């Protein structure tokens, strides 16, 4: 299946602004959707789809800042570009501090806005790639047995096979076998590669559960 097409979501309570921005996005072959309020956007948005959000800081009902906070609380990593009037600069700065990509002051220069939109889309696609890679690592880690997870926790600490065997009550040969299975299942190409994977997906080492067992 092909990746979903990025969408520029435009939220402004002025119909002429929404129409102008939709035409601007279309002029550079960007798909867009327009909304008169934050509530309309929330009812329509499909979480996880790539794109960016261009939102007026002042809206009826939920403001642009409140919408940004709602998205952050929901864990939705959609890059936000805030549109602001002359008297709303302080609010725009607040939005930036809360994680907005940028703000543009009305009336804005078309190319300046498009540059920010393209930047937002690139960031969105990158975040999706990172999320996909993390999900794949989590699936690989979940395929390990509990004993393999225990051995992996020791391996990434740099411990030698004999020390791991003593710690877990195993034979050295059994530890070697577990290590081979771990490398194969995780798809690691080196110890440093395995460590990077572990940082991304493993719980804190103390919670891995290093329980001594019978020597096998």
Percentage of residues of the chain with pLDDT beyond 90: 48
Average pLDDT over residues 86-103: 80
Q: Under CATH, to which class is 7-132 assigned?
A: alpha beta
Alpha-carbon distances of 104 from 33, 52, 156, rounded to whole Å: 19, 14, 46
- Between CA 78 and CA 124 the distance in angstroms is 6
pLDDT number for residue 3: 63
Average pLDDT over residues 59-70: 91
Domains in the chain: boundaries: 7-132, 143-207
- Asked if pLDDT for residue 120 goes beyond 50, the answer is yes
Q: Which residues contact 172 (CB under 8 A, 6 or more apart)?
A: 161, 162, 165
Answer whether 0.85 is exceeded by the pTM. no
pLDDT number for residue 207: 37
Fold of 143-207: Arc Repressor Mutant, subunit A (1.10.10)
């Amino acid at each position: 299946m092909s990746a979903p097409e990025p969408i520029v979501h435009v939220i402004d309570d002025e119909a002429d602004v929404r129409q102008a921005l939709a035409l601007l996005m279309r002029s550079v072959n960007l798909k867009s959707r327009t909304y008169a309020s934050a509530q309309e956007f929330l009812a329509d948005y499909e979480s996880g789809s790539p794109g960016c959000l261009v939102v007026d800081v002042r809206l009826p009902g939920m403001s642009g800042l409140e919408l940004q906070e709602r998205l952050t609380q929901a864990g939705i990593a959609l890059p936000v570009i805030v549109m602001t009037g002359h008297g709303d600069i302080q609010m725009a700065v607040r939005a930036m501090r809360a994680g907005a990509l940028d703000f543009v002051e009305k009336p804005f220069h078309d190319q300046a806005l498009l540059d920010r939109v393209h930047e937002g889309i690139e960031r969105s696609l990158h975040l999706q790639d990172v999320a996909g890679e993390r999900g794949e690592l989590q699936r690989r880690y979940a395929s390990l047995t509990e004993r393999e997870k225990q051995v992996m926790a020791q391996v990434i600490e740099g411990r030698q096979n004999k020390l791991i065997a003593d710690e877990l009550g195993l034979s050295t040969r059994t530890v070697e076998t577990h290590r081979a299975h771990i490398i194969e299942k995780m798809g690691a190409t080196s110890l440093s590669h395995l460590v990077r994977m572990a940082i991304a997906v493993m719980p804190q080492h103390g919670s891995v559960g290093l329980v001594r067992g019978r020597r096998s």
